[in-house]
Amino acid sequence: TQSWQLYAEAAMPALERLYTIAPSFRAEKSRTRRHLTEFWHAEMEIAWATNAEVMAHGEGVVRHIASTLLDERSTELEDLGRDLELIGRYADTPFPRMRYDEAVEILQGKGVDVSWGQDLDYSKEKILTQDFDVPHFLTHYPKIAKPFYHREDPTDDKYVLCHDLLAPEGYGEIIGGGERTWSEEEILARLAEEGTSPEAYQFYIDTRSYGGVPHGGFGLGVDRVCSWLSGADHIREVIPFPRDSRRVTP
């Protein structure tokens, strides 16, 4: 996915906190109820932030959205058939944390064909979140399941310090984030493990060569959050001109 993240990270030493709401573009030909090729992304990068602090920011944003909807748009929510008590729960209840390993065990217990090290695609997230009554954070994914820019867990380098926020009711991931790798050596090692040429990311590597700072951030799928909170059957329902793998105009 082409987003603002890597470019925002270049500005971390100077600005320390960056926020944007802008379109992002998906390279994968995903065709599900929650995927668009062009989608709106609310992204944040913060210097010195840990994975836990980034999660706290993301949770605060989502709970604020739910609370504001209740205060200012409760009539519209009822018109859409939404349960206001349910939206209130999303606004008021702290979001639990669950490690990736626990999620895999739950899925395997439900008879899902998933093995350790696989990223959890939408079909698995949908099954996992059907039993959730509030959003849950999934943390500590295996390093082999996530991109090179996630920082390794210093206590166990099989994992990275990242998270996904999964919405209940079968909606799945609405936020992805975590701590970023800020060591040039670690970035080069991760790219080598992935078999990716460092030349494609030379500008990004250079941002570490001259003294980067520890930082973290997240990306929130605006259309996905709208789809979940409005109870839409498909993400196309919450954007005027949806563009997916089969439609790019108008």
Domains and CATH numbers, the chain: 5-238 (3.30.930.10)
Residues of the chain with pLDDT under 50: none
From residue 151, give the alpha-carbon distance in Å to each of 34, 71, 138: 27, 38, 16
As a whole number of angstroms, the distance between CA 23 and CA 65 comes to 19
pLDDT of residue 246: 84
pLDDT of residue 153: 97
In this prediction the pTM is 0.94
pLDDT of residue 1: 65
pLDDT of residue 32: 79
pLDDT of residue 159: 98
| CA dihedral angle for residue 238, residue 97, residue 219, residue 69, rounded to 10 degrees | 40
Where do we find the tokens 């209130």? 88
Of 136, 1, 150, 147, nearest to 58 by C-alpha is: 136
